[in-house]
Amino acid sequence: MKLDEIKERAKQLNIKTGKMKKAELVRTIQQAEGNEQCFDSGKAVTCGQDNCLWREDCD
């Protein structure tokens, strides 16, 4: 997902993006949605969240 798309999702959740980097922004969105803040944490293989919106970009 492109950064502009991520910022739009953040805006929908009333998150001020400021100068957040992509990983920080995605984790903030995950938190706002009530999900584990696991994006780019190295858990992609074992997280079990196959339908996660961020799955394609996660490491």
**In degrees to the nearest 10, what's the CA dihedral of 44, 25, 20, 23?**
0
Residue 47, CB-side half-sphere exposure with 13 Å CA sphere: 18
Counting the structural domains of the chain, the total is 1
Cβ contact 54:1 at 8 Å:
yes
**Amino acid occupying residue 12:** Q
Which of 6, 58, 7, 14 is closest to 32 using CA atoms? 14
Round to the nearest angstrom and report the end-to-end CA distance of the chain.
14
Note down the domain range covering 26: 1-41
Residue 29 resides in a domain: yes
Residue 48 resides in a domain: no
Q: Band of the pLDDT at 21, cuts 50, 70, 90? A: very high
Q: Band of the pLDDT at 23, cuts 50, 70, 90? A: very high
Q: What pTM, to 2 d.p., does this model score?
A: 0.86
Residue 54 resides in a domain: no
Mean pLDDT of the chain: 90
Residue 35 resides in a domain: yes
